[in-house]
Amino acid sequence: MKRVHVAAGVIRGADGRVLIAKRPLDKHQGGLWEFPGGKVEDGESAEAALERELAEELGIAVTRSRPLIQVRHDYPDKQVLLDVREVLAFTGEPHGAEGQPLAWVAPEALPDYRFPAANRPIITAARLPDRYLITPDEHSADELLRGLSSALQQGIRLIQLRAPSLSDRAYRTLAADVIELCKGRAEVLLKGPLEWAADFPEAGWHLSAAQLRQLAASGRPIAFGRWLAASCHDALEMSLAASLEVDFIVLSPVQATVSHPDAVPLGWPRAAELLAGFTQPVYLLGGLGMADLAQASDSGAQGVAAIRGLWPGWVDPSGATRTI
């Protein structure tokens, strides 16, 4: 069976809501919601196909889009490659040009709608931002909270609280303060024993590669009910993350980094290769910052994860202060 190549778009309104459409009952996966789009024609790029399909289906002209995620999925009766792009700019007012019902949905409400099975990672990708801040470990609790406040003001929406130098007790106290600070503004993922998760019901969890290996030994997905992410460094760890059905992963190190000077960098070509076969969103980490967002996206990643590269006011070696 030939895999059907499909281009689909995540379109956002000015208020951040995402546009979805209902598939006609008589079509494949009929009656379910979808991200508007359609089949890529022979010799056509996914970008061009998306522009053509969204003009036909919604009457809009897409002027700018970027790759968001690629999903290969095998239905019993059809194999698809969904090439999903984030629409960054368009003109016109979207309407159901083929009579299909449309809905504008807040990203966090997308899981409440019924989509085809292939769409789970797309929904996750549509809900996640393009940058994942990992906290630096060298600051006092007060400095860290001040830095996080600025980061929130600058638009950071996803944060991993990493503080390996703190005692368990100090980490847990800091975690409570960070969760309080970020409430309603950013998602916080904690890093530590998974048994702690019950004490922090509002936080997601970020598994280390070692935790990932341990949990994967149990052989079944974890039903966590909040954000669950994992650190991966190679194809094996990525396959463990996939089998546990974590929401997203961080793949590192792409480049040499000060926090892990001994680690051998993957480099961009190898990172892109590892991403190609993986269907969940991936943040690339390791010596990266905002300047690397476009390359990360072109390599198939959701975006960039960074400690220094996303920390407010960090001065890079060239002397320029980075802004987010």
Ligand X SMILES: Nc1nc2c([nH]c(=O)n2[C@@H]2O[C@H](COP(=O)(O)OP(=O)(O)OP(=O)(O)O)[C@@H](O)[C@H]2O)c(=O)[nH]1
Closest CA to 133 of 289, 298, 316: 289
Closest CA to 271 of 292, 294, 255, 258: 255
The answer to whether 28 is annotated as binding is yes
The answer to whether 23 is annotated as binding is yes
The answer to whether 119 is annotated as binding is yes
Is 163 among the residues that bind ligand X (CB under 6 A)? no
The answer to whether 224 is annotated as binding is no
The gap between the terminal CA atoms of the chain, to the nearest Å, is 46
Closest residue to ligand X: CB criterion: 38
Is 94 among the residues that bind ligand X (CB under 6 A)? no
- Which residues from 255-314 bind ligand X, rule CB under 6 A? none
Q: Are 98 and 57 in contact (CB under 8 A)?
A: yes
* Strand-pair partners of 282: 249
Tell me how far apart the alpha carbons of residues 285 and 229 are, in angstroms, rounded to a whole number.
14
The answer to whether 17 is annotated as binding is no
Strands 61-75, 78-91: parallel, antiparallel or unpaired by DSSP? antiparallel
Q: Which residues lie below 8 Å from residue 122, measured CB to CB, with a gap of 6+?
A: 8, 10, 35, 68, 69, 71, 82, 84, 115
Interacting residue with ligand X among 19, 46, 118, 209 (CB under 6 A): 118
Which residue in this structure is represented by tokens 């980094």? 257
Q: Are 297 and 264 in contact (CB under 8 A)?
A: no
- Return the one option of Mg ion, ligand X, none that residue 116 interacts with (CB less than 5 to 8 A, by type): ligand X
- Return the one option of Mg ion, ligand X, none that residue 246 interacts with (CB less than 5 to 8 A, by type): none
Binding site for Mg ion (CB under 5 A): 38
Interacting residue with ligand X among 72, 78, 120, 270 (CB under 6 A): 78
The answer to whether 139 is annotated as binding is no
3-state secondary structure of 76: coil
The answer to whether 270 is annotated as binding is no
The residue (of 35 and 278) whose beta carbon lies closer to ligand X is 35
Is 119 among the residues that bind ligand X (CB under 6 A)? yes
Tell me how far apart the alpha carbons of residues 8 and 4 are, in angstroms, rounded to a whole number.
13
Query: Which region among 112-120, 130-138, 228-236, 290-298 touches ligand X (by CB under 6 A)?
Result: 112-120
Task: Using CA atoms of 225, 226, 232, 234 in order, give the dihedral in degrees to the nearest 10.
Answer: 40
Tell me how far apart the alpha carbons of residues 234 and 4 are, in angstroms, rounded to a whole number.
29
In degrees, to the nearest 5, what angle opens at C-alpha 81 toward C-alphas 8 and 228?
A: 80
The residue (of 102 and 194) whose beta carbon lies closer to ligand X is 102
Q: Are 110 and 127 in contact (CB under 8 A)?
A: yes
The residue (of 28 and 183) whose beta carbon lies closer to ligand X is 28
The residue (of 52 and 260) whose beta carbon lies closer to ligand X is 52
CB of 111 to ligand X, least distance (A): 14
- Which residues from 6-45 bind ligand X, rule CB under 6 A? 6, 8, 27-29, 34-35, 37-39
CB of 324 to ligand X, least distance (A): 31
The answer to whether 180 is annotated as binding is no
- Return the one option of ligand X, Mg ion, none that residue 70 interacts with (CB less than 5 to 8 A, by type): none
Q: What sign results for the dihedral spanned by CA atoms 305, 306, 312, 316?
A: negative
Residues that bind ligand X (CB under 6 A): 4, 6, 8, 27-29, 34-35, 37-39, 78, 80, 82, 116, 118-119
**Binding-site residues for 8-oxo-dGTP:** 23, 28, 34-37, 119
**Binding-site residues:** 23, 28, 34-37, 57, 119
